[in-house]
Each structure stands twice: as structure tokens, then as C-alpha cells.
Chain A
């Protein structure tokens, strides 16, 4: 046995001895890349009223995380994602202090009170947004028209009024990231291609909202089959369905669970939009579904190989 000491340059570790090149940081960078189209569109429509909040949120989120754990300013990249996502849920021209409070809340209340990335129950960006929405409701719904940057109402205040084509391209009032459907879809297509999201959560979310929007429009606003599509394209639904609900940490891991989660988000969003006090329901719909994610995972555990029913 004495030769062991001589040859101790050989590493002994548990199998497997090969690992995928994929890392948490690379996934987060891909999410940032996927958000680029939405950021660019926001910058085109709202100019400095978009760029300044995005930069402030990004820097504030990363700085908060750095001050908390001091592991490099970029670290795993999740703080940067949270910052950008939060900014995209803010109205154009949000005050700097609103951005900072949102970002700090997102990182601390959304993530670190639970123990950091991976342990958080709620989507951090949405926690930040919820804090702002509860505290400064007026400022959080002060919309600007992308045409002349003057104050206007969100299209959700008057369902069915905005043209679908404007909703699709982004030529409507709304939060920075929720105006252009096409930019969000391009980003989501990239995430799909890279394998970071799958169709189940967005599909369940958008599908259930589409069906509910169409059916419920018959009850509330006169039957109109385009109302379903309108509900999908208006407001933050696509941003939520493609980038918020698909957050890995706070959504189920089982295939069936993901579908249930998506459908739950869609149903709750529509219920809040149509019957709730808020014009928009995406934030709270996703946060509520985040809370029941562990239950969904438990209930949808796959049948293991060779499982025999007892």
C-alpha cells in the first residue's frame, strides 16, 4: 500500500467523471441574451425613460447581492437577470428611488431571506414589483404613450380597445417590457432553442388565458373571439408567461406539474383581470402559483421505473 503516497497526484472522486459544460452562470447569461430584444424595443419606444430605469435596476440588484455575499459582482448572473426583469415590469420613466427600492426588495426579500438562489419560493423580480405595487400603486400605473411619451391609460383599462397589431409590435402604453409581443417571443424562442425553457409553462399559461379570454368575454363584454388573443397580447401576460413563470427555481420540475402551473397562472391572471381590483393580474397570479409549486411537484411525482401499484 505504500505506493499510494507516491502517486497521490491522482485525484479520486465519485462518478460521473465527465460533466456537461452547462453552468448556472451560462444559463443566466442566456436569459440575459433572451431579454435583449425586449430591452432594445423598450429603449426605442421610451428612450431614456427606459434606459435609465433598466440600468438603475440592474446595478442596484447586482450591488445588493454583492454587498450581501461578496462573491464577485456578476457572480452566477441571477441578480442581473432579476434586475433587468424587474425593470421591464416598471412603467417608463420610473423614479430612480423606485427602481432602487424595487431591486433591493427583489434581492433581499425575494431571494436572500430564503437563503439565496435556488432556495427562494417566489420569483424575486415579482417580489420586488409586488412591493412597489403595494406601496406606490399610483406611480406603478402611470403609463406613457410610446408615440408622444405623454400620460395615457394602459390598454387593460379598456379591454378590447387597442388594436391587436399595435399590441403585437409594442406600439401601446404599458410597462417597459410588456409593450412588444414580438420582442418577447424572439427572446423566448432563443431560450427554447437553448433548452432552458420548454413549451409547458408558457403553453399552459397562454393557452388557458386564450380560452378563458374568449369564453369570459361572452359573459362580460359581449362575445368576441379576438378577445382571447387580445388578453394574451395586452399587458404583462407574455412577459410573465415567457420569462417570469418559467423561472426554474420557482416553478415545478415535473412535466405535468409544469403544465398545471402554467394553466394555474393563466386562470388566475384572467380571474384577477376580469373580476379583481387590479387591471393586471400577472404578478399576483405567478406569485400565488409560486407558493403552491412544492405542492404541485409532490402531487405530480412521476411513476418510477418498475413501480408496482400497491
Chain B
């Protein structure tokens, strides 16, 4: 078996402290704050009012827009408030606040669907939409939109089990513990997409996940595990396509489906399996809590809407010198100023770093060492773009193809001058976007 990969990339310190910790279930929260916008696309309108009794799995938010995903209650209880609440994305979307009655009574319409063999592709897409399933890899794009088959079907579906971010282990644990369901979900997605093959890409530092997945595949020749080199950002969509499909590139400005490939997260396949087998919508998610600032790292199944403060307490609390809270992995995750935010469908992890790890470096001029050029998986020139960004020269940045940047952070990671390259790139991108939309 050859180990595949892409060109470029880097090797951040690969700490995965929770890799061998089985998934534990968090306590049922007494109160959940469920944002009505947990996905890319149109935010939902609330379907409930303050004072309403709701059951677990009951739809509480939806919208007619095509690119959107409904939101369901993750507990049974009573709606006490509908108001904006701080969200890690930086915005404060409307949230439905529900006080749990502790009974976890399921809604009546949460029932197993027909067996997979009897479902049509359209029915699978509909089940995925009704269950409010979004991509769990990070972007939270509504999955039902991605399951619409292109003309003539699809060459291959790629499930992304690379999990190349340091610390994060939720996908790893899900593959180890729920490989059967992942394969079930993969088959459902293949049916919907009319995909001829399914490749499950896993970095070779997760031999137990590779073994469990191979076991679950059994003799099915349409599904195959692809072993990937341990290299960041192996789990980035385009880079994964290139690695798995032997050098195939997604052309600039196009989607992977234009070259016959669709990419989805392994965890997404599992929740699709749940939605078909049990009828339960996406009301909880497995996340990793890790970092030197938390007393006990964990992979933990959390109800959507649980306030993170409660989760941290179940992980032994944070240390006195905790200094940074990161939503997601250390390479791409966003820092948040507080522990008081709700867990969303696509929350993959929260990292807590201590003061010693939060160093504010002096930013030096670029010495043109070229390390960023060597590691950039988009093959652009982060050094020159960062200079353009520093000077607010957005025209120059555009000439240097700043828009091709996937913001993986490899350049800023390797930069010896500690230049905040990604930050400048983001500023350039938004400025260019603002210019072009005028």
C-alpha cells in the first residue's frame, strides 16, 4: 500500500493527547443555547416561541432558503428566551434558549427510516436535510446540498479522516469506535451522489482507525481506505483530493465536483447513518477538549447548545494560567475571549493554552528565507503577499493570487520572522472582496 500525499505542507508538533481516550458522554445540560445559524448559508427563523414546550429532536428553526440547515432541540423542556448570544464565529446570532426538564423525551417524528436498500437517492438527501446535517469538518456547509449528484454521477466520494490538525482527535475516535456506521453513511452518500467509488483518507498515524475502517468495509470493493502521509494540511479539501486522486487538481475557481469528486468528513457520514437508522437529527457532536490549560483532555459527546463552561468543568476545569481559548485546531482555529459560548453542530474541538504557550512575538521584516514558499500547499508566495498586506497594497496582493490562499497557516507556522502572514492575507482578501462587490 502506497502512502499518498500532496506537494508542500509542514509538520507542526503533533500532540494528540486524547488520541487513546474513548469518547465519553457529557452530562445533560440544564440549559442549552441553540444558535439558529450554525451553518454556512441562510440563518433559520425560529419555529417556537418563548414558553413553548419542546421535545428532544423537535425542529425549532428552519428557513425556506436552499443553502441552509434546520436546527433541532437537543433536550426536552421549555423555551425560555430567544435572543442573540455570543458565538465563537465572532457574531451574535439569534439563539433559542431551552431549559431542560431532564427527561430527554424524543419528539414523535424521530423514528427509524426505511432500510438503506429501499431508500432512493432523493430520499437520502431529504433525510439529510431534515436532520439538519452539516459538514462536521469545520465549514459547516449544509450536507444535503453537497449530496446532489452531478450529471452522470460522480467519480468518487472522498471521506476526510486525515485530521491533520494537532490536538484534535474526535474524527480519529469516531473512526475507531463507529467505523460500521461510517461505512453505512458512506454507502448512503454514495447512493445519493451516484458515486462509483468511495475513498476514505486517513493519516498513517492512526493505525487503529485504519484497521477498524478496513474491518468495517469488509469485502466491499467500492470503498477503499487510502493511507495518507502525516503532514499538515493533509485534511484540507483540495489537498486531500490531490493526494487521493493521484495528483488531480481542483481548478482555480471550481469545485471538486467539477472534476468528479466530492469530499466530506468522516463524522458527517456517521451522523447520516444515525439519521437513517434511528431518525435522530444532528443534536449532538463529538468534540476534543485538549491543551495544556485544561486539567484533563477528552473526546466528549456534547449536546448542541451546551455552554462550553459546563464542558470544561467535566474535564477537570481550566488551569489558573490558562490564557487562550481556541475553537478548533491550533493551525486554523479561531481564538475566543470567553468560555461562555454554545457548542455548535460543527464544533470539532476547543483547545486551552497556558500563558507559556501564548507568546506574542516581535514581528520582524521578511528575510526572504523562502520557507513559506516551500511549504505553501497553494503554491503562492506568502512572503511577497505578506509584504503587500503589511503595506495595505491589495492590488499587489491580488496580482500575487492572494485569493488562492486556503489559510492553512503553514506559512506563518514556519516563518522565522514571526510574521502574521495569514492575518494579513485575510485582511487583503476581505479588502479585495469589498472592492469587487462595490
Contact = CB atoms under 8 A, between A and B. Distances in A.
Interface string B242-277: 100000011111100000000000000000000000
Interface residues of B, number: 67
Given A17-B335, A27-B369, A253-B368, A306 B254 contact: yes
Given A11-B335, A20-B413, A248-B368, A308 B13 contact: no
Interface in A13-34: 13-20, 22-24, 26-27
A8 interface: yes
A14 B337 contact: no
Interface stretch (B71-79, B219-227, B416-424): B416-424
A7 B368 contact: no
A27 B242 CA distance: 33
Contacts of A26: 416
Given A4-B86, A10-B323, A14-B420, A19 B413 contact: yes
Contacts of B414: 20, 22
B378 interface: yes
Nearest to A22: B416
Contact of B413 (A3, A18, A23, A253): A18
A118 interface: yes
A147 interface: no
Interface residues of A, number: 47
B416 A24 contact: yes
Nearest to B425: A14
Say what secondary structure dominates the interface of chain B. Answer: loop
Interface string B110-146: 0000000000000000000000000000000000000
Contact of B426 (A14, A23, A307): A14
Nearest to B410: A16
Interface string A49-65: 00000000000000000
Contacts of A145: none
A307 B400 CA distance: 12
A304 interface: yes
B216 interface: no
21 contacts: A9-B323, A10-B336, A10-B338, A13-B335, A15-B334, A15-B407, A15-B422, A16-B330, A17-B335, A18-B413, A19-B359, A118-B365, A248-B369, A248-B370, A249-B367, A253-B368, A254-B370, A302-B379, A304-B378, A306-B251, A306-B253
Interface of A: 1, 3-4, 7-20, 22-24, 26-27, 76, 115-119, 196, 248-255, 258, 297, 301-308
